[in-house]
Chain A
Amino acid sequence: MKSAYQSICRLLASSGYHDRDIAEFLDKLLRMGPTSVLSDIRDLRHLPHTSSPRHVFDVPTDRFVPPPSETALKIERLLVHDVGMSKTTAIEHLSKEILLRFPNLQIPPESRKGFRSWLMRLSTLVPEKELLHVATSIRNRSVQDSPTDWRLK
């Protein structure tokens, strides 16, 4: 123990820290207790040495906000723009296809606020990726794109 104490004192002596910094460290060590300090030291052993605190520590935040969903706009483009369906026909086709996949689903009624608003309400019941799959399948039955790739046989 004595030699570890002396070695660490030597390390501190050669570290270039001022007496006031070392006193602050010792004061904090006394307040935190050896278990917490040892835990911090173990943590530091696992951190990349050249990392600065900004590159290591995150502050809990709720500021991450995703952009507004593009799903409704994409479906409108697929069915109304690409196929030329009326919005009412698009709702009929989508409802029919979705009920085939989710037979017990209560499809929301057509909204007075419009097609995109109806799609937004639908997306609270059906995952957006499923809605896009259904809409693209309907679209591709009417619009033939050239093949994108070779077939895998």
Chain B
Amino acid sequence: MAIKPKKNPCPVVAVLNMKGGVGKTTISAHVFRHLYSHLKKRVLLIDFDPQFNLTQAVISQTDYEEYKAAGQTIFSVMEDSATSSIFKVSSNLGPPPGLDDVSVRLRRFANTDPEVNLLLVPGDFDLVKYSMIGDGKVLEPVKRRFLKFIDDARLERDLVCIDCNPSSSFMTICALQAATHVLVPVRPDRYSMLGLKMLNRFISDVPQLAKKPELIVLLNGVKISGYDPTVENALRSDPDFGPATLANSLHVSKVLEATAGYTGFATDKRGQGWRVTPRITAIVNELGAALRL
């Protein structure tokens, strides 16, 4: 069924922090999966990290191998096909593929609202080549193609979420240029404020960003007992980051951790999802309001 184009482009959220291990993929997967079903929005997830942990968390290896063989990954958004060398990009790039050609439908509502669904553009290790090419001019057509793909997707979806990798690379610039908002997961531990300040400075200093994306900070990994609020107090009182920090935070939970025997979303874990769903619901409500969904 053809999806009706909307009049206004939807928000694009880059989930990003220069610091690793803060929960970017956990939030991209579980918060945005719940946002789709709780707020009933057409959500597109894009795995934009060469490590593609988001993809590995939610789809099986067998399925992924089929998608990869069919070119149904983020790499096809960047280039038409892989070149023989990882130091070169395809010349004469054509227009980007359509969303239907590269996305996987992860969830949908049974019988009602077939257009309200959760799509994923699977990740691809081949993206790593962009961190090895130093000449920005060579990559400019790749970036233009990615931005065109996002512009088109914004007319078909209610929200686009880009799960970024933690480096200050070409791909981070691409994601920031596409983003209307940056969702920054922050753990309440030492170095977190520094990581946030570095990201803020990076966003301020990138010359390509004509319009700076709006920051939204989400505290992740808050302990239920024995919690030391020193970092949270520093964050919430900060004149720049305090008003941008969501009131609701994500608590530490084993249900949110990736485990070898489970592929899928935390809120769908049989007999365990209820442990995290109420708190994620509160985050989704607040995030939905912040994004004016």
Contacts and interface: CB of A to CB of B under 8 A. Distances in A.
A69 B247 contact: yes
B234 interface: yes
Interface in B172-195: 190-194
B239 to A, nearest CB: 8
Interface residues of A, number: 41
B230 A145 contact: yes
Contacts of A132: 236, 242, 245, 247
A48 to B, nearest CB: 4
A46 interface: yes
B201 interface: yes
Nearest to A67: B278
A133 B236 contact: yes
A39 B1 contact: yes
Interface in A55-92: 55-60, 64-67, 69, 71, 78
Contact of A127 (B37, B247, B279): B247
Contacts of B212: none
27 contacts: A39-B1, A43-B108, A47-B104, A47-B106, A49-B66, A56-B106, A57-B110, A58-B37, A58-B109, A64-B34, A65-B278, A66-B248, A66-B279, A66-B282, A67-B282, A127-B247, A127-B289, A130-B243, A133-B237, A133-B243, A137-B237, A139-B237, A145-B233, A148-B192, A148-B193, A149-B193, A152-B194
Contacts of A78: 233
Contact of B201 (A58, A69, A152): A152
- Indicate the size class of the contact surface on chain B: 35 or more
Nearest to B270: A54
B225 interface: no
Interface string A116-153: 00000000000111111100110110000110111010
B56 interface: no
A50 interface: yes
Contact of B62 (A50, A54, A128): A50
B105 interface: yes
Contacts of B88: none
Contacts of A131: 247
B63 A136 contact: no
Given A59-B110, A64-B38, A136-B233, 7 more contacts: A47-B106, A78-B233, A129-B244, A130-B243, A132-B247, A140-B234, A148-B234
